[in-house]
């Protein structure tokens, strides 16, 4: 077979050589040891929560080493493409504080290794395809859909492995004349890889997360270019990762089965094989067994966390604890440190699948919010509420100082309060501070004598002085307790419960319900300071009137 003639026949319009293309993508000038990583999504319109894992790893590895992290849009499958999906991807990651140094971005593209959209690189792929044909490593296949189904059916009947390989690969050894005839007839063709693999053999491979692995060789003559000349993902990504000088490919483990083919491709093209990190898939517990977190599961889409109001910081904290086994320990020792100060290490990544756990995420989120400053919490809430809760947005922006005072309660102490887990929790939490949201949700338990309750509340209003400090404030509650036959100390009551009607904690509960409408609230002394004397006492007087 005259492969040169075949390559000219198939690609008459390709005039460039791979060498010329290589010259357009010179080696990157980066410090020793710098890693080049990429995120290479297909714009299918759904950003999976799980994609945060490879993205965060890629980002950390690149930026920790002075390297480059870029975004490549893998849009070679027009059937799966969704309009605007690429901007969704960019915006989703931006809201997580993940930015790309190169690639597709809001204003278009940046970087010297583009185009970063595969659909714009057809000529590049075809140049390499032509070279493979010249070297006898790829060939045209004119099989129709019907022929391919017939092959499948026959394979099924014979219980043979499915696929286009060996004796089933009808056009693998077609001669030049046959190809010429088919082309003269205007028949469409795909370009296939001529696999030299054998399923009796295994390829040995070291994945930086999974360690040494062995996978059966690929013997399928996979499609490299579709009949419209557009490459498959497999072919395109090998060329792109080479030309864009990717040093570390970080991606989901669902790509592991394709690895033997990818390795063959890199070798056939004469490319250096990048290092691989295949990240385990995210699992969930269902009916006592582990299952893949699928698209339909609650929390599978990244947008869910945004609309619920999980701070991006919390979600990233959570992902980090799953990604690096020593992260949690580091965070405990450095509660205020920036996440990026943590020395991320590939060695601390687990080879087995992480279990998605909302409780853990919620715990982390409460802790994360508790350690934020009131200003930061305020800014985040306003940003979220603008889109998802306009009532809250209006209340918070009407008087930002007031909102910040509320958010300051218990903040900055060694054991900060953990009332908020998501921004959706904010409105119920701050409602008591806004007359338009204030509701009495709790009742004073019926086992207390109504007259005692009334008296306690009245005495409180009579003795309240806004100049009291927290100790003086509480001392007055004790006096009220004693006067009404309640124990001034809880422990006294516990010792001799029959001697008292209740204890000082009950008096404070009466006031809390009258003032906040709830049995649980932030520190009452602080609440009254923020509400001010007039509003506080008017709420208590209202409660008295309703007893």
Instruction: Enumerate binding residues for ligand GLU (CB under 6 A).
Output: 40-42, 74, 233, 237, 249, 251, 255
Rounded to the nearest 10 degrees, what angle do helices 524-531 and 400-408 cross at? 170
Handedness of CA 453, 454, 457, 460 (dihedral sign): negative
The CB-of-159 to ligand GLU minimum distance in angstroms stands at 32
Compare residues 15 and 80 and give the one whose CB is closer to ligand GLU.
80
Q: In whole angstroms, how close is the CB of 415 to ligand GLU at the nearest point? A: 43
Taking the complex as a whole, the smallest distance from the CB of residue 237 to ligand GLU amounts, in Å, to: 5
| Nearest CB to ligand GLU, comparing residues 77 and 468 | 77
For residue 68, list its beta bridge partners: 36
Contact yes or no for 130/7 (Cβ under 8 A): yes
Q: How far is the CB of 59 from ligand GLU (least distance, A)?
A: 14
Pick the closer one to ligand GLU by CB: 8 or 81: 81
Min. distance of Cβ 473 from ligand GLU in angstroms? 60
E strand spans, 248-362:
248-252, 275-279, 283-286, 289-292
Strands 68-71 and 102-105: parallel
User: How is residue 75 written in tokens?
Assistant: 């849009």
Contact 39, 55 (CB under 8 A): yes
The smaller minimum CB distance to ligand GLU, of residues 236 and 527, is found at: 236
Please return the burial class of 479, using the count of CB atoms within 10 Å of its CB with bins 0-12, 13-18 and 19+. Answer: middle
CB-based contact 325:331 (threshold 8 Å): no
* Minimal distance, residue 7 CB to ligand GLU, in Å: 27
| 35 or 366: CB nearest ligand GLU | 35
State the minimum distance, in angstroms, from the CB of residue 76 to ligand GLU.
9
Quick check: helix, strand or coil at residue 102? strand
| Least distance from ligand GLU to the Cβ atom of residue 298, Å | 22
Question: Which token pair is 167?
Answer: 């004796």
Tokens of residue 293, six digits: 């977190």
Return d(Cα 494, Cα 369) in angstroms, integer. Answer: 36
Closer residue to ligand GLU (CB): 57 or 409: 57
**What is the layout of strands, in order, in the sheet containing 138-141?**
138-141, 190-193, 223-225
Report the Cα–Cα distance between both ends of the chain, in Å, rounded: 100
For residue 512, CA distances in Å to 36, 82, 434, 506 come to: 58, 53, 16, 10
In terms of CB distance, is 40 or 169 closer to ligand GLU? 40
* Exposure string for 162-178, b = 16+ CB within 10 A, e = fewer: ebbbeebbebbebeeee
Q: How far apart are CA 482 and CA 275, in angstroms?
A: 74
Judged by beta carbon, residue 11 or residue 276, the one nearer ligand GLU is 276
Write down the least CB distance from residue 268 to ligand GLU, Å: 18
Angle at 516 between CA 515 and CA 517, to 5 degrees: 105
Contacts of 82-91 spanning 24+ positions with Cβ under 8 A = 82/43, 82/44, 82/45, 84/45, 85/43, 85/44, 85/45, 86/43, 86/117, 88/45, 88/47, 89/41, 89/43, 89/47
- CB nearer to ligand GLU: pick between 42 and 354: 42
Check if the beta carbon of residue 67 is closer than 8 Å to that of residue 35.
yes
If the CB atoms of residues 121 and 130 are measured against ligand GLU, the closer one turns out to be 121
Select from 309, 205, 347, 214 the least CA-distant residue to 266: 205
Measured from the CB atom, the residue of 44 and 367 that comes closer to ligand GLU is 44
Q: How far is the CB of 218 from ligand GLU (least distance, A)?
A: 16
CA–CA separation, 72 vs 108, rounded Å?
Answer: 12
Closest CB 280 distance from ligand GLU, rounded Å: 15
Taking the complex as a whole, the smallest distance from the CB of residue 264 to ligand GLU amounts, in Å, to 15
Residue number, 249 or 315, with CB nearest to ligand GLU: 249
């Amino acid at each position: 077979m005259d492969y040169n003639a075949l390559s000219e026949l198939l690609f008459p319009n390709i005039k460039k050589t791979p060498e010329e293309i290589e010259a357009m993508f010179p080696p990157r000038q980066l410090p020793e040891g710098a890693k080049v990583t990429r995120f290479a999504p297909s714009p299918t319109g759904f950003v999976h929560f799980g994609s945060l894992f490879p993205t965060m790893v890629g980002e950390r590895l690149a930026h920790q080493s002075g390297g480059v992290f870029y975004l490549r849009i893998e849009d070679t499958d027009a059937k799966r493409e969704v309009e605007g999906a690429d901007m969704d991807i960019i915006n989703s990651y931006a809201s997580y504080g993940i930015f790309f140094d190169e690639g597709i971005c809001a204003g278009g593209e940046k970087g010297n290794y583009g185009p970063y959209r595969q659909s714009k690189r057809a000529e590049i792929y075809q140049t390499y395809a032509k070279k493979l044909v010249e070297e006898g490593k790829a060939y045209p296949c004119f099989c129709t859909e019907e022929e391919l189904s017939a092959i499948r059916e026959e394979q099924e009947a014979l219980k043979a492995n499915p696929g286009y390989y060996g004796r089933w690969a009808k056009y693998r050894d077609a001669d030049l004349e046959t190809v010429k005839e088919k082309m003269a007839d205007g028949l469409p063709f795909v370009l296939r890889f001529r696999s030299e693999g054998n399923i009796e053999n295994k390829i040995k491979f070291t994945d930086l997360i999974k360690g040494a692995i062995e996978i059966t060789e690929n013997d399928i003559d996979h499609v490299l270019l579709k009949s419209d000349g557009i490459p498959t993902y497999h072919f395109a990504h090998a060329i792109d990762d080479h030309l864009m000088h990717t040093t570390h490919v970080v991606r989901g483990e669902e790509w592991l089965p394709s690895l033997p083919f990818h390795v063959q491709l890199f070798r056939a093209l004469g490319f250096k094989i990048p290092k691989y990190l295949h990240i385990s898939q995210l699992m969930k517990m269902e009916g006592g067994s582990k299952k893949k977190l699928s698209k339909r599961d609650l929390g599978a889409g990244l947008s869910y966390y945004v609309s619920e109001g999980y701070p991006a910081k919390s979600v990233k904290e959570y992902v980090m604890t799953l990604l690096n086994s020593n992260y949690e320990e580091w965070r405990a020792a450095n509660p205020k440190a920036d996440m990026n100060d943590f020395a991320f290490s590939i060695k601390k990544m687990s080879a087995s699948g992480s279990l998605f756990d909302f409780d853990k995420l919620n715990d982390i989120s409460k802790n994360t919010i508790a350690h934020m400053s009131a200003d930061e919490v305020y800014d985040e809430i306003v940003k979220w509420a603008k889109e998802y809760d306009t009532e809250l947005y209006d209340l918070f922006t009407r008087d930002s100082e007031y909102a910040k005072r509320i958010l300051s309660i218990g903040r900055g102490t060694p054991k900060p309060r953990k009332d908020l887990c998501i921004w959706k929790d904010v409105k119920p939490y701050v409602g008591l501070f806004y007359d338009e949201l204030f509701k009495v949700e709790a009742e004073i338990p019926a086992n207390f004598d109504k007259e005692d309750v009334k008296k306690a509340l009245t005495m409180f209003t009579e003795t309240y002085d806004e100049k009291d400090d927290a100790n003086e404030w509480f001392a007055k509650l004790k006096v009220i307790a004693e006067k009404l036959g309640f124990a001034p100390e809880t422990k006294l009551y516990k010792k001799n419960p029959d001697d008292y009607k209740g204890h000082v904690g009950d008096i404070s509960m009466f006031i809390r319900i009258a003032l906040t409408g709830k049995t649980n609230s932030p520190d009452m002394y602080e609440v009254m300071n923020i509400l001010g004397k007039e509003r506080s006492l008017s709420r208590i007087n209202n409660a008295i009137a309703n007893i």
